[in-house]
């Protein structure tokens, strides 16, 4: 059943694929059947005050079964791969399919001949790392933060975590795919106190192997962010330029990406639905979604429906190129799937961005800073889930950071919001930096400068 060009990377993946294929083979006449199975292991160490607050180790597995009959879809999932549990899930999914209303576009993915780009980010050193070493790393990161500045009053938590995961998907329509991955990451939340003021600063580092973790950078980031806000107060309300550092800019780019997905577009929930071929952003902005770029921590060979991941151009030189699709939304739009189905065990595939990347523009962080007369440098945003409406595009979020005056960082600011709309911010972007950073979520983003944003404060 597997295409000849694809071999499972190891026995565990092969076993998962076999489990999925056995379920898919149970399709009855007139029925399409898909099984998505996954197994993962993770450990997590949390340190506080040079003690190990908690050490978690666990493995989990699960299955999601999707049935399509007469263009009606049903789904069931379970947190176990026991044969009787899979039987129950299959029976439930079949029963659920009876109650959905038919849609001619609904159906599983079909093999489309696109070969997956080989990728196997599975460094054995992740699984081989000893518990003692993980504990040492967490304690070391905390020590580095505590020693970073006399005003650091403590650490809320310093953590190490690693995970290895495998998934396989198989369908009665001939799809078969499996892949694996291993990651480790560390994060720390520093507390800085002076007088009756206390601030927090976060730092993190991610890698495909423990050696790739950069504790120095994570610690320095957390200390700097926590200590540079002393004396922060609201600034006067006005319109100004906003400088978003890469990790904050990536959040905005993620909001844009989510509104360029086929489901939103086809169902009238995207402000960009009718705008392919039009200029929607500054000419300096080029945005792609490319899970075949192996620098991304979200890189993968297969999407959630088992189709090969591929490079998709969304915005080129500010002009909207098109949208992302899974197989069902692609059929409805008259387009091929872009390999953009994202999912977990407990949900059906949906269209999503996998590895968004803004291509580098020009200018370093300092160059971009130097070009701003009156602005705010944003180090963190809050209230994204309540202050961003992805349908209307309205954005209003709380920020902390530093005022920019005459090209230089000036006094700290807090308890203020910035507001605009996504549509306006894309057009009001005046600079895209050259300083690309690959971020923990798998996105690549440079520093962005957006003009004419409303700041609300005193």
Partner 1 sequence: MIDASVLERVLGSALRTGGEFAEVFAEDRRSSSALLDDGRVEELTSGRDRGAGIRVVVGDTTGFAHTADLSEAGLLAAAEAAAAAARGGGGGVRTIALTRQQASRGYEIEIAPVEVPKARKVELLTRADEIARSTDGAISQVSVNYGDSLRRILVANSDGLFAEDETVRTFFAVSCVATGDSGMQTGRESIGHTIGFELFDRYDIDELARRAAGRAITKLAARPAPSGQMPVVIGSGGGGVLFHEACGHGLEADLVSKGASVFGGRVGQQVASKGVTVVDDGTMSREWGNIAIDDEGNRAQRNVLIEEGILTDYMWDQLRARKEGRASSGNGRRQSYQHLPMVRMTNTYLLAGTEEPEAIIASTEKGVYVKHLGGGQVNTATGDFVFGMTEAYLIENGEVTEPLREGNLIGNGPEVLQRIDALGNDFAMGPPGTCGKDGQGVPVGDGVPTLRVSSLTIGGTAA
Shortest separation between residue 333's beta carbon and partner 1, angstroms: 13
Closest approach, Cβ 42 to partner 1, in A, equals: 10
Contact 281, 426 (CB under 8 A): yes
What DSSP character marks residue 308? Answer: B
3-state DSSP call for residue 322? Answer: coil
Smallest separation (angstroms) from partner 1 to the CB of 440: 13
Closer to partner 1 at the Cβ: 406 or 458? 458
Q: Where are the beta strands (DSSP E) in 215-305?
A: 238-244, 287-289
Give the residue with the Cβ less far from partner 1, 292 or 329: 329
Handedness of CA 163, 250, 306, 97 (dihedral sign): positive
Q: Of 240 and 368, which has the nearer Cβ to partner 1?
A: 240
Shortest Cβ 268–partner 1 spacing (Å): 5
- Give the nearer residue to partner 1 in terms of CB position, either 114 or 131: 131
What sign does the dihedral 301-306-312-314 (CA atoms) show? negative
Nearer to partner 1, 86 or 444 (CB): 86
DSSP lists the bridge partners of residue 405 as: 374, 408
Q: Which residue, 180 or 264, has its beta carbon nearer to partner 1?
A: 264
Q: How far is the CB of 419 from partner 1 (least distance, A)?
A: 5
The angle, 0 to 180 degrees and rounded to 10, between the axes of the packed helices 11-24 and 83-97 is 40
Q: Roughly how many angstroms between the first and final C-alpha of the chain, as a whole number?
A: 66
Q: Partners of 400 in the beta sheet?
A: 380
CB of 447 to partner 1, least distance (A): 23
**Torsional class of 277: left (φ above 0), alpha (ψ -120 to 50), beta (otherwise):** left
H or E element that contains 378: strand 374-382
- Distance of closest approach, residue 23 Cβ to partner 1, in angstroms: 16
State which residue, 362 or 382, has the beta carbon closest to partner 1.
382
Alpha carbon 237 to chain centroid, angstroms: 33
């Amino acid at each position: 059943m597997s295409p000849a060009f694809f071999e499972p990377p190891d026995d565990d993946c092969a076993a998962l694929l076999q489990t999925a294929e056995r379920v898919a083979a149970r399709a009855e006449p007139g029925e399409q059947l898909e099984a998505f199975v996954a197994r993962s292991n993770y450990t997590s160490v949390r340190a506080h005050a040079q003690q190990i607050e908690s050490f978690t180790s666990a493995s989990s597995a699960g299955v999601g079964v999707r049935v399509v009959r007469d263009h009606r879809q049903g789904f069931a999932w379970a947190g176990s791969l026991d044969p009787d549990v899979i039987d129950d899930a299959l029976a439930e999914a079949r029963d659920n399919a009876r109650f959905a209303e038919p849609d001619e576009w609904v159906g599983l993915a079909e093999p489309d001949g696109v070969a997956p780009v080989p990728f196997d980010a599975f460094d054995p050193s992740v699984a081989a790392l000893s518990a003692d070493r993980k504990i040492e790393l967490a304690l070391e990161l905390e020590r580095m933060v505590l020693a970073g500045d006399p005003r650091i009053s403590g650490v809320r938590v310093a953590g190490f975590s690693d995970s290895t995961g495998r998934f396989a998907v198989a369908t009665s329509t001939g799809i078969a795919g499996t892949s694996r991955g291993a990651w480790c990451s560390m994060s720390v939340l520093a507390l800085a106190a002076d007088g009756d003021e206390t601030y927090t600063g976060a730092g993190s580092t991610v890698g495909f192997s423990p050696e790739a973790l950069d504790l120095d950078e994570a610690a320095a980031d957390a200390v700097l962010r926590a200590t540079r806000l002393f004396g922060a107060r609201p600034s006067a309300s006005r319109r100004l330029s906003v400088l978003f550092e890469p990790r904050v800019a990536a959040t905005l780019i993620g909001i844009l990406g989510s509104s360029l997905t086929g489901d939103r577009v086809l169902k009238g929930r995207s402000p960009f639905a009718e705008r392919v071929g039009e200029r929607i952003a500054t000419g300096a902005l080029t945005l792609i979604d490319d899970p075949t770029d192996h620098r991304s921590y979200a890189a993968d060979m297969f999407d959630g429906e088992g189709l090969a991941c591929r490079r998709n151009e969304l915005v080129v030189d500010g002009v909207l190129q098109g949208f992302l699709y899974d197989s069902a939304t692609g059929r409805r739009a008259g387009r091929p799937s872009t390999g953009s189905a994202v999912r977990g065990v407990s949900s059906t595939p949906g269209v999503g961005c996998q590895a968004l990347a803004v291509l580098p523009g020009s200018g370093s962080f300092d160059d971009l800073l130097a070009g701003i007369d009156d602005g705010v440098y944003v180090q963190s945003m809050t209230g994204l889930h309540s202050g961003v409406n992805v349908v209307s595009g309205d954005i209003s979020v709380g920020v902390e950071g530093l005022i920019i005056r005459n090209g230089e960082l000036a006094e700290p600011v807090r308890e203020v919001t910035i507001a605009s709309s996504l549509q306006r911010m894309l057009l009001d972007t005046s600079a895209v930096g050259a300083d690309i950073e690959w971020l923990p979520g798998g996105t690549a983003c440079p520093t962005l400068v957006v003009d004419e944003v409303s700041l609300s404060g005193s």
